[in-house]
Each structure stands twice: as structure tokens, then as C-alpha cells.
Amino acid sequence: MAVYFVVQEKVTDEEGLAAYNKAAGPTLAGMRVKPLVVDNDVQPLEGEWHGSRLVILEFEDEEAFREWYDSPAYVEARELRFASTDSRGVLAKGLG
């Protein structure tokens, strides 16, 4: 069953986020993932929204997500994201 990594962010350091993007991009190569949304200017419609950046990545299953998220290369890269954003992240299951 597909799973979705959803990250809602308030960017606090644009240069740091650029460094994260440069480091994180290659960690997705060869992984079972499909980027669905990368939006730096979302339009909140309901409730209080956190930040202006939204990322949604679709993984084939939780095993594929964990293979990427827990990989040494991404563990190192995500520290750059944590340092340059105030992030909220969830893993959500798909419908099938």
C-alpha cells in the first residue's frame, strides 16, 4: 500500500534550505518514490496553517519510505532541513 510523507514547513533560512535541497535530491535516486507536491507558496483555505511550504512524496510502501528516510545519506541531509525550517511531518497511508 502506498504511503505519503507530508511535510509542512515554515522556512527560517533560505540558504540552508537550498543546501538541504542540494543534499537531499541525490538521496532519492533509485528509490521507490514519486514526488507529488513541492510548493513554496501554498494557499491556506481552512484553519491555521504552518508556514508556506508543502512537500508530499509518495512511496510504494512503508518499507520504501523507511529505506530512504533512515538511510545514512538522508539522515545527514535532513539535519539541514531541521536547521533551516520549522517543520511538521507525517507519514500517511494511502487508500489501497
Phi, psi of 16 (to 5 degrees): -65, -40
- State the DSSP string of 49-92: --SSEEEEEEESSHHHHHHHHTSHHHHHHHHHHHHHEEEEEEEE
Q: Which of 55, 67, 64 is nearest to 20 (CA)?
A: 55
- Mean per-residue pLDDT pooled into runs of 10, the chain (96 residues): 97 97 96 95 93 96 97 97 97 92
pLDDT at res. 96: 75
What are the domain boundaries of the chain? 3-93
Q: What is the pTM of this model?
A: 0.93
The CATH class given to the 3-93 domain equals alpha beta
Count other C-beta atoms under 10 Å from residue 44's C-beta. Answer: 10
Q: Tell me the three cell numbers of residue 3.
A: 504511503
